[in-house]
Amino acid sequence: MFDTALTFNDLLFMLKGAGVTLSVTAFAVVGGTLLGVFFGVLRSQISPWAALPLTFVLDIFRSVPLLIQLILANAFQAIAGWGISPFVTSCIVLALYTSAYCTEIVRGAIEAVPSVTRRAARSLGMTWGQDLTQIVFPMALRVGLPSWIGLTLGVMKDSALVMWLGIIELLRASQILVTRLQEPMFILLVTGAIYFALSFPIARLGSRLEKRWQEND
Amino acid sequence: MIEIENVHKSFGALQVLKGIDLTVQRGEVVSVIGGSGSGKSTLLTCINGLEPIDKGRIVVDGTEVHARDTDLNKLRRKIGIVFQQFNAFPHLTVLENVTLAPRKVKGMGRKDAEEIAVQQLSHVGLADKLNVYPSRLSGGQQQRMAIARALAMSPDYILFDEVTSALDPQLVGEVLDTLKLLADEGMTMICVTHEMSFARDVSDRVAFFHKGVMAEIGAPDQIFGDPQQEETRQFLSSVR
Amino acid sequence: MGNYTFQWRQAFRAFPEMLEGALVTLQISILSMLIGVTIAVLLAVGRDAKSRWLRAPATAWVEVARNTPALFQIYMAHFGLGSFGIYLSPYAALLAGIAFNNAGYLCETFRGAMRAIPGTQLRAGRSLGMGQAKAFRLIILPQMFRISFLPTTNQMIWAILMTSLGVTVGLNSDLAGVTQDLNARSFRTFEFFALAAVIYYVIAKAVMLGARLLAARLFRY
């Protein structure tokens, strides 16, 4: 079909890179979501002034380029002599980065629940905790889930930057092949197709959920 | 004069107007009543050409609205319409809302347009809200602004499409008072309305629409006192 | 901290050099936004066009921009175009990649803004005797501008953060590139990049603050 020097083994090499992309993403999203839910609930329940230090720190993760964050974290762990592998460093940085965005999503979703609804729940005799788990969380989940899916996709794309720490993920793998085979366009198209295959179904699912839930409102 | 002859209109398979005939003379106030889905609002949007019609014709002062060579933008200057949703332009102040069309459609200078706008806004009791944005107004005030906006084009006819339906009950009165004022001044008006006392007190004639047909038309005393059709009787007893 | 001693003085001495890099960063961001907004408008028109030949490429652009990494898009401009004998400098490749990305995201922002305005607004304009184009320009466009202002500002911040990717294709004149150069000469990685992070942060916050102030002035309704 195509006249290319790309062998099956090379393709396997790329898919292995895609596996690294996925695992970095998975660690980051799971860790980031746990942290983000915790921070988000905290932020929505305490006064904005009390939350200021947390807000400030999380905002840094959203206002400094991820690449710089990765470089800084890696340099810092080397200085501290912790001997953490680049892979673990990457996962930690990406998880913190994810948590910063996730916190905003969770907070926004919780605040989207009308206070009259919550008052109604409390007037029925529900406790603060019941109100949160029975009323607020289920309602907030609907509001927040589409954004959370968007965040997951975003993290997967941003995870390409971990290559700077020497990790061979999908994009780095393809770059290695580009250098060796000198067929940049073809190899990058394959790379793009793999990224697309990873993210498009999730994106579709997200927009479908959003549409379905809007119809039910 | 507005002449409506045998007008048919469907949305897909749904027939909304099934042959409407109605003539409205200059200076006349006609109220249109009827249940929801009876086609009364659709008729209004057809009169100023916002909706095409399938059959029949609508002639305003000798100009056929849906004729191919009719300049609708020009025609619409003489037919104002006020909607149920106020459709305030949120990005403009009250004064700017009212001056926009005179300036940009009629090409009036800012000063002249503002003079007219202030006059019309005073007319509807909003002289003290000129530089306020619509979001700061109550529903009744927004609706009165919309009326002033239509009046500022000095139209010959005004169509009112359930202008009080979206209002809180305590705000209905102020808008109806404005309509009464216009009627007393001799404005030609077609009012689609659910306010029966308004229809009875203000109109010269009342038309009852039922399932896309004008079932009955007559003087308010006759329609409300001695309805000829069974549907009219049923409708009136249901709204009382 | 072992036996490492932080040497901040060296980093501070390089501050003017890094500020010059920050100017290049800003320049690339602004240019990429200007190009991005222009293309986004065309894409938005294209995506809702009747002709499939307009719709398909516009949709493809938007989907690729939104579903692949920004770095991938920059690689495409830098390495990929080489297959057609087009060799872009790191600066041009970075600008092209970010502009491509901006256009894809902004196109959806603009379309969303258009949909957020009730159709009755256009109708109200038409009922006052305005033509389609006039009603769009006077009624819809100003409201669209307001709705899309904040998302567009956010995209601008994204563009600023994305410029740091230039260093991966060998750009050495922007903030990240300058910092990397300094780093390569001195190996004071942490100090230099920490300073760079502060500069990025300040730029991002300044742009956000500026946009907020502007919005407060522009949109009083």
Rounded Cα gap, residues C15 and A27, in angstroms: 36
Asked whether B and A share 3 or more beta-carbon pairs under 8 angstroms, the answer is no
pLDDT at A214: 66
Given pLDDT bands bounded at 50, 70 and 90, which one contains residue C48? confident
Rounded Cα gap, residues C5 and B42, in angstroms: 80
Which chain B residues are closer than 8 Å to C146 by Cβ? 91
- Nearby residues of C146 by Cβ (< 8 Å), 6 or more positions away: B91, C218, C219
Residue C109 sits at φ, ψ, to 5 deg, of -60, -50
**Touching partners of C (3+ C-beta pairs < 8 Å):** A, B
Element (H, E) at B158: strand B157-161
Total residues found in chain A within this entry: 217
User: Tokens 């006759």 identify what position?
Assistant: B222
Q: Which residue of C has its CA nearest to B84?
A: C120
The verdict on a CB contact (< 8 Å) between C194 and A158 is no
The pairing of beta strand B29-34 with beta strand B188-192: parallel
pLDDT at C1: 53
Residue A209 vs residue C85, higher pLDDT:
C85
Total residues found in chain B within this entry: 240
**CB-based contact, C134 to chain B, within 8 Å:** yes
Burial (CB < 10 A; 0-12, 13-18, 19+), residue C216, is: exposed
The verdict on a CB contact (< 8 Å) between C70 and A164 is no
pTM: 0.80
Region B4-10: mean pLDDT is 93
Query: Where do the domains of chain C lie?
Result: 8-218
Q: Which residue of C has its CA nearest to A78?
A: C1
Which chain C residues are closer than 8 Å to B92 by Cβ? 221
Q: Helices C15-47 and C141-162 sit at what angle, rounded to 10 degrees?
A: 140
pLDDT at A1: 45
Show the 3-state SS of A29-67.
HHHHHHHHHHHHHHHHHCCHHHHHHHHHHHHHHHHCCHH
The verdict on a CB contact (< 8 Å) between A157 and C204 is no
- The identity of residue A86, as a single letter, is P
Q: What is the dihedral of CA A41, A43, A44, A47, to 10 degrees?
A: 140
* Lowest mean per-residue pLDDT among C8-12, C23-27, C210-214: C8-12
Q: Which residue of C has its CA nearest to A176?
A: C79
Q: Please write the tens of the pLDDT for every residue from B114-144.
A: 999 999 999 889 999 999 999 899 999 999 9
Q: Which of C142, C125, C127, C126 is nearest to C220 (CA)?
A: C142
Rounded Cα gap, residues A76 and A154, in angstroms: 25
Rounded Cα gap, residues C159 and C153, in angstroms: 10
The pairing of beta strand B157-161 with beta strand B29-34: unpaired
Q: Which residue of C has its CA nearest to B155?
A: C128
Region B167-180: mean pLDDT is 88
- The identity of residue A43, as a single letter, is R
pLDDT at position B65 over 50: yes
Average pLDDT of the residues of chain B:
91
Average pLDDT of the residues of chain A:
89
Find residues 102-121 of chain C whose CB sits inside 8 Å of chain B.
118, 120-121
Average pLDDT of the residues of chain C:
92
Number of A:C CB contacts under 8 A?
Answer: 109
Q: Please write the tens of the pLDDT for every residue from A141-160.
A: 888 988 999 999 999 999 99
Region C100-120: mean pLDDT is 93
**CB-based contact, C57 to chain B, within 8 Å:** no
Which of A165, A177, A188, A190 has the highest number of chain C CBs within 10 A, making it the mutation to test binding with C?
Answer: A188
**CB-based contact, C114 to chain A, within 8 Å:** no
Instruction: Judge whether B10 and B54 are in contact, CB under 8 Å.
Output: yes
- Nearby residues of A103 by Cβ (< 8 Å), 6 or more positions away: A35, A36, A39, A40, A43, A58
pLDDT at B91: 87
* Domains parsed from chain B with CATH numbers: 27-49+71-239 (3.40.50.300)
The verdict on a CB contact (< 8 Å) between C176 and A68 is yes
**CB-based contact, C100 to chain A, within 8 Å:** no
User: Which parts of chain A have pLDDT scores under 50?
Assistant: 1
Q: In the numeric block, which tokens belong to residue C93?
A: 């490749």
Rounded Cα gap, residues C110 and C36, in angstroms: 12
Q: In the numeric block, which tokens belong to residue A97?
A: 């980065």
Q: Helices A137-158 and A184-216 sit at what angle, rounded to 10 degrees?
A: 170
Q: What is the DSSP letter of B227?
A: -
Classified by CATH at the fold level, domain C8-218 comes out as MetI-like fold (1.10.3720)
Instruction: Judge whether C196 and A68 are in contact, CB under 8 Å.
Output: yes
Q: What percent of chain C has pLDDT over 70?
A: 99
Q: Go through C1-37 and write b for each residue having 16 or more CB atoms within 10 A of its CB, e for each that does not.
A: eeeeeeeeeebeebeeebeebbebbbebbeebbebbb
Which of A157, A165, A210 has the highest number of chain C CBs within 10 A, making it the mutation to test binding with C?
Answer: A157
Distance from CA of C40 to the nearest CA of B (A): 23
Q: In the numeric block, which tokens belong to residue A118?
A: 């919550």
